[in-house]
Structure 1
Amino acid sequence: MPRPKSHTLTDVTTAALTVLDQDGYAALSMRAVARELGVSPMALYRYVADRDELERLVADRILEPLVQEVDAGPWQHRIAVLADRLRAAAGAHPEAVPLLLRHRHDTLNSVRWIETMLAVLAEAGFHSAGRVLAQRAIVHHVLGAIQAQQLSPLDGAGTASLAELPPAEFPHLAATASIARGMDPDDEFHRGLASLLEGLRREAGSPTTPPPA
């Protein structure tokens, strides 16, 4: 008779998330999570089949806030709410960004988030290839912002070095980098998203905005 399990999947997911937050994505392993739980590495396999399943559990936990209801309103506002939720979820666990990117198509909460966004776009009048292009453009903007904030924030050394390039040789780059250092990441994200959505609206031929329910 198999021994009764002393932990739950929730315990395992919590332990994995703790390892991620404290030690980083590179440190996430079955052995590290087992140690956090206080069990042997082999005992962890009674709960998850492998590292891949462990990552999916963590990704699904992080993305739980994405599947809340979205209030009625203009489609641009609803898309912005969905985009903000993904950015906030990733921002709360920056070391999990590689994991979220890898599993964005095979975790239930991520798939539900995508379905909700596609429904908003469909109601707004985006159809066929236009809806595909709109959804991908929005997701690329959000994921790009998440990765940029984690890997090369505006106030990081990379932007600072670009701002110090000789203006005579790199006038536009030096000036732009200098301005970028003073920009607020949230403002940059929302203004960029608003510009993108306006461009999509024009490209699609002014999709209709459904009235509030």
Structure 2
Amino acid sequence: MPRPAVLSREKIAEAALRVIDRDGLAALTMRSLGRELGVAAMSLYNHVADRAGLESLVAEAVVSNIELGDVAADAGVEVRRLMVELRGSLNAHPAAIPLILTRPTASEAALAPIEALLEALARAGFTGSDLLGAYRTLFAFLVGFAQADLAGPVSSGQPATLDEVAAGVLRLPEHAFPRLRACAVAAKTSTSDAEFDYGLTTVLRGLGITSDDFA
């Protein structure tokens, strides 16, 4: 008879992300997580108090692997680097994005990237309410773009692909929707990375954050 798996909060978070990535956020339950780990669901409560605790643990796992050691000397470059890193973390587990918004966590691992971003913004000259406003603006852009990358609501079982959306727009009458059709044509050769870079540069410039690296 095989020995039961040795549980830890890290293993639980990894298994929960596997369930979410494969089957969606709604599929994550203590029972499904127990099956994923090969343990009784009740044994999970030795490590997480309840469903809310599990969701906070997952939210922490999504953003806690960002590289923080090599800080760029240029504050603007560092802000951009951290935004790109955060986007990569969200894109790696898109179905978990709602947890980032609804399950804030006070764990040091989860908040370290946010502190690093705030520090970069402070180095760029933001203080007090301006620091808060700059952070919220960047965070809203980041999460909004990550959800837009899914081409539909994160809760949708079958979101439309970008190609399907573009094809639908191109079926509209040209005389009534010339700009939408032009964007649909441009989308055929565009990439999400290029659009994120354009949007991020625009937001940073709007905040007055500049750098020779993206002037």
- Scaled to the shorter chain, the TM-score interval is 0.7 to 0.9
Q: Partners of 1:193 and 1:172 in 2: how far apart?
A: 23
What is aligned with 1:195?
Answer: 202
Contact 2:31 2:41 in 1 (8 A): yes
What is aligned with 1:186?
Answer: 193
Q: Superposition pairs for residues 3-152 of structure 1, below 5 Å?
A: 6-66=6-66, 68-104=68-104, 106-152=106-152
Q: Percent identity?
A: 35
Task: Give the root-mean-square deviation of aligned CA atoms.
Answer: 2.4
Shift of 1:157: 1.9
Q: Partners of 2:10 and 2:129 in 1: how far apart?
A: 39
Q: Deviations over 1:90-134 (max 9, x none)?
A: 111222222223234545333222221111111111223322221
Q: Secondary structure at the match of 1:68?
A: coil
Residues 122, 182 of structure 1: alpha-carbon distance in 2 compared, 3 angstrom cutoff = same
Structure 1 unmatched runs, 5+: none
Aligned structure 1 segments of 4 or more residues deviating by more than 3 angstroms: 104-110, 151-154
Shift of 1:139: 1.0
Structure 2 unmatched runs, 5+: 153-159
One-letter amino acid of the counterpart of residue 19, structure 1: V
Q: Partners of 1:110 and 1:67 in 2: how far apart?
A: 12
The TM-score with structure 2 as length reference comes to: 0.83
- Higher deviation after alignment, 31-40 or 144-153: 144-153
The TM-score with structure 1 as length reference comes to: 0.83
Q: Partners of 1:173 and 1:104 in 2: how far apart?
A: 37
One-letter amino acid of the counterpart of residue 172, structure 1: R
Residues 20, 154 of structure 1: alpha-carbon distance in 2 compared, 3 angstrom cutoff = closer
How many residue pairs end up in the alignment?
201
Shift of 1:30: 0.7
- Higher deviation after alignment, 183-192 or 96-105: 96-105
One-letter amino acid of the counterpart of residue 111, structure 2: V
Contact 1:56 1:107 in 2 (8 A): no
One-letter amino acid of the counterpart of residue 99, structure 2: L
Q: Deviations over 1:161-203 (max 9, x none)?
A: 123311111111221222123211101101110111111117x
Shift of 1:8: 2.0
Residues 84, 73 of structure 1: alpha-carbon distance in 2 compared, 3 angstrom cutoff = same
Shift of 1:22: 1.8
Q: Secondary structure at the match of 1:52?
A: helix
Q: Secondary structure at the match of 1:201?
A: coil
One-letter amino acid of the counterpart of residue 62, structure 2: I
